[in-house]
Amino acid sequence: MNPFLFILYDIKRLFGRGKTAFIAMLSPIPVILMFALFLAPVLTQGNGAFFSGAILNEDNSESVDQLMNIIINYEVKKGNVAVYPVKEKETGERMVDEGKVAVFMYIPPDTYADSMNGNRVVMEFYYTPSRAFDALTFYTGIKSSLSVFGQGIRLVNIAVGIAKKLGLSEDEIFRIWDEGVLDLQNVFIHRGRVIGKNGIFLFGADYHFRFAIALLFATCAYMSSFPVIYLTSLDLSEIFNKRSIPAKRLLLYFIARIISGAILILFSFLIMFPVARLLRQIELNFALSVIPGIILTSLVFSSLAVLIGSMFKRGQSALWAGLYFGTASVASVAFLSDKTDIPEALALLMRISPFRASVSIFSNGMFNLMIERYAFDMFVLFSAFVIFSAAGFVIYMKRSAL
Amino acid sequence: MNYFALLKGRARALLMDFSSLAVIIIAVVVSIYISKYSEKENAKGIIIEIVNEDKGLLGSRLIDILSSEEAFKYNVTSYDEAVKAVAGNKAQGIIEIVPDFSEKIGRSEYESLVHITVMADSYDMTTFTEMVINDVIKVWSETLVEKRIGEIQGVSQSDITEFREEIKDVWNRESLLDIESVMGKEEKTEEEENYFGIRWYAVFAMFYLCISGTWMCNYSSTGLLRRVSGRGGKITLLFIFQSLPGVVISFLGFIPVLITSGHPDPCNVFISFLIYICSSAAFALIICCMSGKFSNLVLISPISTMVVSLFSGLLCELPDWANLWGTTSVIIPGHWLYEAILEKRFFLGAMLVFACWFILGICISWGFSKKKIH
C-alpha cells in the first residue's frame, strides 16, 4: 500500500465525517469570545481611537496646561485618544456614566502651585466599568509616569532649597524653579524615546494579550489531540492486538497516525493569525517564523497523543491521562513558568516542557522575534518530538501482537 | 426494568472511577482556594538580566534604582550570559544599558538610552517596560537637577554632595503628583463581593456532569440506551437514575465550598445550586447525545461548559455593553444561579429553565436512541 494512501486512510478514520476536525477548528472560539467581552469596544469603535475621554483642567497655570496639551495632542495625533474638554466636573462624570466617553480626567485647581510648594495633589481618573479593562491599562501608565514626574518636583524643590540657602535673589530662584520644571516636562514628553519608541504611555500594555492568545491556542491544539489518544488506544487493544503485523508496516501505521493527528491539530491554529492580526499589527516575517513552530507543535502533540494512547489499554483511561497531563501542563505554564521560587527540578521541567516552548514561540515569535529563544524553543519541541515518537513506537510495538 | 439497579450500578461506577471523581475533588479544592485567595500576589520572582555597558557612573545608579523595585529580581551580567538566560527560559527580560548612557544623559540626549528585550511569558510583564522607562527618567531627572544646581553661583561641592545624599531617599517617598481611579456608578455594589469560589465550582460541576456522562456515548450508551429502549424502558427514568449519583456527588462537593465562601444567604444559594445542578445534568445529557463518541465528548465538554458559563456570567462579569448577551442568558441555568448569588430573585426562572432543559434533554436522547436502534 502506498504510504500516502495510509495517511489518507488514517485521516479519514480520525476525522470521521469531518465533525472532529470541525470541532477542533472551532475550539478556540469560546475563549476568544471571552476576550471579545473585554476587547469589543476597542475593536469596534468607529473612529479607530483607543478610547474617547473628557477632561477638565481647573488649574489655570501655564505649565500644567502646556503639559496636558503636549500629552493629549500627541495621543490625539496618534489616534489613541479622542478628547472632549468639559466645563464642569459633573458633566464629565455624567458623560462617563452615560457611556459617551470611556474616561474623564479631572485636574483640580492649584495643581501646579500646590505641588511646587511641596503639597501632594491628587487628580481623578473617572472611568466606565464597561471599559475598565483598557481604561485601567491606560491609567496604570499615566499614574506611574505622573508619579515619577511628581517625585521629580521634589528634586527641583531640593535645588531651590540650596539656592535659598546660598541667598540667591527671588528672580534667580524662580528661574531655577522654572528651568527645573521645564527640564522635567521635557524628560516626561520624551519618555518613550529612552527605549527608542515614540509615544508617552502604553508601552508593553499588550504583553498579557500575547501570552494569553499563545496559551489559548496551544491549549486548544493540545485538546485537539484527544481523538488521536482515543483512536490509538482503541487500535492497539482491538485491531493490532489480534492481528500480527510486520514491524515495517506497523511503523507505517505509526507514522501515518502521527501525521494525520498533526493535520487534525493544525486545524485548531487556523484562526490564530486573524485573531493576532485583529489585536496587533504583526510583521510578515514574524508571522512566517511561527509557521514552523505550528507544524512542530502539531507533530509533538500528535506524537505525545500516540504515546499516551499506546500506554493505556482502555481508551477512556488514556483520555483521562491525557486530560490530566494537559491540565497540569496548561496550569504550570499559566502560573509557574515565570516563577523562580520553585524547586530546581520543577524549574527544569518547565524549561524543557514542550507545552511551554510552544506557548513561547507563539507569544514571542509572532510579535517580537528573539532568535536565540526561538531556536531554543524549536530545539525543545524537536527533542520532545523525537523522544515521544521513539518511546511511542517502542510501546506501540510491544502492545501489538508482533 | 429495574431502575434502582441502574442507579446502584451507576453510583458504584462513579465512586470507583477515581479518574472522573478526581475532577470533582480538584474542583472542590480549587474553589475553596479561590474563596480564600488573596489578590495581593505580585510579580515577585520574575528574573531580569541587566547588562551594564555604560562607561560612566549613571549606569550603576540606574541599577541601584532598578534594584529597589520589588516586582522583579535582577541579575547584572554580560550580554552573552543574559541572552543565554533568556533563550533558556531562565530569565524573562534583558535591560541593556548602552555604553554612552552617562555621556548621553550628560548631553541631554534621550534617544535609546537602554535596550529592552521582553519575553511575553507572563501576565506580569505588562508593567515591566513602563517601570524601566520610569527608572531611566529618575536617573535623567537627578542629573538634570544636579546640573542646574551646578550652575548656581557660589555653589560648593558640599552642596552637591548634600543634594546627592538627599535624593537617595526621594524616590521612596510619596509623589507630589498622584492620580486616583474612580469607577463609574453602575456596578459598584456588585464589585464588593464576587463569590468566585461558588461561581467557578458551579462551572466545574457542570463540566464534571458532562464529562462523566459517558454512558450516553458510543461505547456504552448505545448499548445501554438500546437495551433500555428495547425492553420498553423509559428514557426519562433512565436519565434520572443515571444522572442522580453525579448530581449528588456534585452537590456534596458544593457544601464545603458554600461554607467557606461566607455568602450571607446560603439557604437560597443552596436551593438555587440544587436546581442549577439538575438543569446542568439535563444539559450534560444533550451534550453527551450530540457528541456521539467519547473523544468528541472530551473535546466538546470543556468548550460548551465554558460558553454557557461565560454567557451566564458565572465565569466572569458580563460588561455593560453586552446587554443582549445578558438578556439572552436567561435560558441558561447558570444565569439564575448567578442571580441567586447576587441575592436577586431566581426561583421561578430557575425552575422554568430546568423544566425546559429537562424536556429538551429527554426529547433529544429519545430521538438519538431511536436513531441508534434503526
Give mean pLDDT, residues A163-180.
Answer: 82
A226 touches A386 (CB < 8 A): no
Mean pLDDT across chain A? 79
Residues A191 and A210 grouped into a single domain:
no
Q: Which range among A122-126, A328-332, B304-308, B317-321 has the greatest average pLDDT?
A: A122-126
A324 within a domain of the structure (yes/no): yes
Chain A, residues 66-125, CB within 8 A of chain B, namely 93, 96-97, 99, 105, 111, 115, 118-125
A363 within a domain of the structure (yes/no): yes
Residues A81 and A143 grouped into a single domain:
yes
Chain B residues within 8 A of A117 when measuring between CB atoms: none
Task: Please determine, for residue A159, whether its predicted confidence score (pLDDT) is greater than 80.
Answer: yes
* Strand order through the sheet with A103-107: A81-85, A51-57, A103-107, A121-127, B177-183
A200 within a domain of the structure (yes/no): no
Domain-ending residue, one of A195, A221, A239: A195
Q: Which amino acid is located at B63 in the chain? A: I
Residues A214 and A361 grouped into a single domain:
yes
Task: Please determine, for residue A301, whether its predicted confidence score (pLDDT) is greater than 60.
Answer: yes
A144 within a domain of the structure (yes/no): yes
Q: What angle do CA A154, B51, A338 make, to 5 degrees?
A: 90
ipTM of this predicted structure: 0.77
Residues A129 and A178 grouped into a single domain:
yes
Q: Residue A20 — pLDDT band, cuts 50, 70, 90?
A: low
Residues B101-150: pLDDT tens digits?
999 888 878 888 899 888 877 767 777 888 888 888 888 888 888 888 88
Give the whole-angstrom CA distance, residue B361 versus residue B305: 16
Q: Looking at chain A, how many residues does it have? A: 402
Q: Is B162 left (phi over 0), alpha (psi -120 to 50) or beta?
A: alpha
Closest-CA residue of chain A to B91: A338
Give mean pLDDT, residues A271-291.
Answer: 70
Chain A, residues 358-387, CB within 8 A of chain B, namely 359-360, 363-364, 367-368, 370, 372-373, 375-376
Q: Given this model, what pLDDT does residue B43 score?
A: 47
Q: Given this model, what pLDDT does residue B76 score?
A: 92
The alpha carbons of chain B give a radius of gyration, in whole angstroms, of 31
Task: Please determine, for residue A68, whether its predicted confidence score (pLDDT) is greater than 70.
Answer: yes
Topology at the third CATH level for domain B46-170:
abc type-2 transporter like fold (3.40.1710)
Residues A314 and A376 grouped into a single domain:
yes
Give the residue range(s) of CATH 3.40.1710.10 domains in chain B.
46-170
**Could you list the residue range(s) of the whole structural domain that residue A114 is in?**
51-195
Domain-ending residue, one of A195, A214, A230: A195
Give the whole-angstrom CA distance, residue A216 versus residue A359: 9
Parallel, antiparallel, or unpaired: how do β-strands A121-127 and B46-52 relate? unpaired
A367 within a domain of the structure (yes/no): yes
Task: Please determine, for residue A49, whether its predicted confidence score (pLDDT) is greater than 60.
Answer: no
Give mean pLDDT, residues A212-241.
Answer: 83
A179 within a domain of the structure (yes/no): yes
Q: Residue B38 — pLDDT band, cuts 50, 70, 90?
A: very low
Task: Please determine, for residue A40, whether its predicted confidence score (pLDDT) is greater than 60.
Answer: no
For residue A279, count other CB atoms closer than 10 A to its CB: 17
Q: Which amino acid is located at B14 in the chain? A: L
Distance separating the N- and C-terminal Cα atoms of chain B: 22
Give mean pLDDT, residues A196-220.
Answer: 74
Task: Please determine, for residue B354, whether its predicted confidence score (pLDDT) is greater than 90.
Answer: yes
Q: What angle do CA A381, A213, B205 make, to 5 degrees?
A: 100
Lowest mean pLDDT among A37-41, A365-369, B126-130, B310-314: A37-41
With a CB cutoff of 8 Å and minimum separation 6, the contacts of A317 are A233, B19
Residues A247 and A130 grouped into a single domain:
no
Give the whole-angstrom CA distance, residue A12 versus residue A339: 43
A329 within a domain of the structure (yes/no): yes
Give the whole-angstrom CA distance, residue A42 versus residue A50: 6
Give the whole-angstrom CA distance, residue B308 versus residue A40: 19
Chain B residues within 8 A of A193 when measuring between CB atoms: 110-112
A115 touches A150 (CB < 8 A): yes
Chain-centre distance of CA A309, in angstroms?
32
Comparing A149 with A26, the larger pLDDT belongs to A149
For residue B130, count other CB atoms closer than 10 A to its CB: 22
Residues B63-84: pLDDT tens digits?
988 888 777 888 999 999 999 9
Q: Which range among A146-160, A175-189, B334-348 has the greatest average pLDDT?
A: B334-348
Give mean pLDDT, residues A379-384.
Answer: 95
A274 within a domain of the structure (yes/no): yes
Mean pLDDT across chain B? 80
Instruction: Say how many domains are in chain A.
Output: 2
Give the whole-angstrom CA distance, residue B358 versus residue B279: 7
Residues A104 and A228 grouped into a single domain:
no
Helix H or strand E encompassing B216: none
Residue keyed to cell 476568544: A32
Residues A153 and A285 grouped into a single domain:
no
Chain A, residues 168-207, CB within 8 A of chain B, namely 168, 172, 176, 179-180, 183-184, 187-188, 190-196, 201, 203-207
Chain B, residues 247-276, CB within 8 A of chain A, namely none
Residues A384 and A243 grouped into a single domain:
yes
Q: Given this model, what pLDDT does residue B96 score?
A: 93
Residue keyed to cell 506557548: A359
Residues A288 and A248 grouped into a single domain:
yes
Q: Residue A386 — pLDDT band, cuts 50, 70, 90?
A: very high
Nearest to B72 by CA among B152, B132, B117: B132
* Strand order through the sheet with B114-118: B72-76, B46-52, B93-97, B114-118
